[in-house]
Amino acid sequence: MKAIVYTKYGPPDVLQLKEVAKPTPKDNEVLIKIHATTVTSGDWRARSLDVPFGFGLISRLVFGISGPRQPILGTELAGEVESVGKNVSKFKVGDQVFAFSGARMGCHAEYKCMPEDGAVALKPAKLTYDEAAAISFGGTTVLDFFRRGNLQSGEKVLVNGASGGVGTAAVQIAKHFGAEVTGVCSTANIELVRSLGANHVIDYTKEDFTKNGEAYDVIVDTAGTAPFSRSKVSLKERGRLLLVLGRLPDMLQIPWVSMTSSKKIIAGPAAEHAEDLHFLAKLAEMGEFKPVIDRRYPFEQIAEAHSYVDTGRKKGNVVITLE
């Protein structure tokens, strides 16, 4: 099968289209023929090792010290079940599915094996393969942070970086949970964020949300520009800062903040829960969560997709289509 492989860290041109062995499903696995995948900020960071301050050594320990331990990137896919292991009972050949491989990656290929009890779910009928491929990364990240942050209906939530892959998911999912949502984005993305259901939108090029006198129960920082030192004035008593993207020094403050105030910082990698995909599929069927797609690239042009993601200016998701 064809796959996009990288053997060293660096710019997008380290990615190469290669022939690799087609996987064979184990007894408890399904083999999925991939129709669409994505390039996320996670793929960019794993490829380039361009990570927030303080995480350079940690990222090498995770991804591989001298070179990538997993040579095929990609955490999301949508496609069709081509074959199943002998013990599989939840899926059958021909099922249209979407899946999230998370830290195991490997989705930038024509085929991927997934355990039937893993993060695999039937594709929502309302979504195309392209849309279904883009559900998981942002959606599961947001669900895990909202779960750890104990988001409640009626609370005021601010999403910093509301037009990105995680941000667009955060706005929609916070609305589903009954929050009053404020999105922070650039001028160009105001209408997009408003269309996702945000009650209020702040253009960060014209207004600093930390200086407008508003206070929020939850601030979600997906952009890495609202650490506690900056955003604490905008948190209510018992407010929570969900640091989706942060530097190591920002995270080292967590115990001190917990001991000296009623406010909390919640950070660290999002946990992966297989049941979250079923919940996201249900939201999609209800029309309450639809992944935003900025651009689509054919499989052979994945390096160009990475170059675009590297700019940090993508709106929602960048999808890779496979014939």
Domain residue ranges in the chain: 2-135+291-321, 138-266
Task: State both tokens at 206.
Answer: 């014209």
Task: State both tokens at 185.
Answer: 């984005």
- The architecture CATH gives domain 138-266: 3-Layer(aba) Sandwich (3.40)
The pLDDT score that the predictor gives to residue 139 is 97
Going residue by residue through the chain, which has 323 residues, state the pLDDT in tens, using 9 for 90 and above: 999 999 999 999 999 999 999 999 999 999 999 999 999 999 999 999 988 888 888 889 889 998 999 999 999 999 999 999 999 999 999 999 999 999 999 999 999 999 999 999 999 999 999 999 999 999 999 999 999 999 999 999 999 999 999 999 999 999 999 999 999 999 999 999 999 999 999 999 999 999 999 999 999 999 999 999 999 999 999 999 999 999 888 888 999 999 999 999 999 999 989 999 999 999 999 999 999 999 999 999 999 999 999 999 999 999 999 97
Task: Pick the closest to residue 28 from 135, 136, 129, 120 (CA basis).
Answer: 120
**Count of helices and strands (H, E) across the chain:** 11, 15
> What fold, for 2-135+291-321?
Quinone Oxidoreductase; Chain A, domain 1 (3.90.180)
Cα R_g (the chain), whole angstroms? 19
The pLDDT score that the predictor gives to residue 309 is 97
Q: Phi/psi of residue 184, each to 5°?
A: -115, 125
According to DSSP, residue 280 is labeled H
Task: State both tokens at 187.
Answer: 């001028």
Cα-based distances in Å from 188 to 86, 141, 191, 192, 314: 51, 25, 8, 8, 11
Task: Pick the closest to residue 6 from 78, 76, 63, 79 (CA basis).
Answer: 63
Task: State both tokens at 93.
Answer: 């050949």
